Amino acid sequence: MKRAMYLVIGMAAPLLLQPHPAAAAHLDPGAQHAFDEYTAELETRLERQHNSSETFISVLNGGPSQRTDTFEELESGTMIIESVLDHPKPVPGGLIHHWRGAAYVAGAKSNDMLVLLRDYNGLARNYGPEIQSSSVLWERRGEASLAIRLKRKKVITVVLDGVYKVQTRSVSASSGASSSRSTHIWEVEGAGSASERRMKEGDDDGFLWRLNSYWSFQEVPGGLLIECEAVSLTRDIPDGLGWLATPIVEELPRESLEFTLRATRNALTARAAKENDRE
Question: pLDDT tens digits for 30-58?
Answer: 999 999 999 999 999 999 999 999 999 99
pLDDT of residue 167: 97
Q: Using a CB cutoff of 8 Å and minimum separation of 24, what contacts does 123-127 make?
A: 123/148, 126/263, 126/264, 126/267, 127/259, 127/260, 127/263
pLDDT of residue 241: 60
Stretches where the chain sits below pLDDT 50 are 1-19, 21
pLDDT of residue 142: 87
Q: Minimal CA–CA distance to 27: which of 147, 250, 199?
A: 199
Buried residues in 151-170 as b, exposed as e (16+ CB within 10 A): bbeebbebbbbbebbbebee
Q: Minimal CA–CA distance to 79: which of 250, 255, 273?
A: 255
Residues 214-262 have pLDDT tens digits of 999 999 999 999 999 999 999 987 666 666 667 777 788 999 999 999 9
Beta strands in the chain (DSSP E): 25-26, 80-83, 89-91, 94-106, 131-140, 143-154, 156-172, 175-189, 197-198, 203-204, 210-220, 223-235
Classify the C-alpha dihedral 43-45-50-56 as positive or negative. negative
Domain ranges within the chain, ordered by starting residue: 28-278
Q: Output the pTM of the full model.
A: 0.89
- Which amino acid is it at 233? L
pLDDT of residue 48: 97
Residue 5 vs residues 9, 17, 154, 226, 273: alpha-carbon distances, Å: 6, 18, 20, 44, 50
Q: Minimal CA–CA distance to 213: which of 180, 177, 260, 176?
A: 180
222: left (phi over 0), alpha (psi -120 to 50) or beta: left
pLDDT of residue 252: 87
How many separate helices (H) and strands (E) can be counted in the chain? 7, 12
Q: Partners of 153 in the beta sheet?
A: 157
pLDDT of residue 276: 66
d(CA 250, CA 255): 10
Classify the C-alpha dihedral 67-73-79-83 as positive or negative. negative
Neighbours of 64 (CB within 10 A): 7
- Which amino acid is it at 141? R
Q: CATH fold of 28-278, please?
A: Alpha-D-Glucose-1,6-Bisphosphate; Chain A, domain 4 (3.30.530)
d(CA 228, CA 258): 10
Residue 248 DSSP one-character state: I
Residue 43 vs residues 47, 75, 225, 251, 253: alpha-carbon distances, Å: 6, 27, 19, 24, 19
pLDDT of residue 242: 61
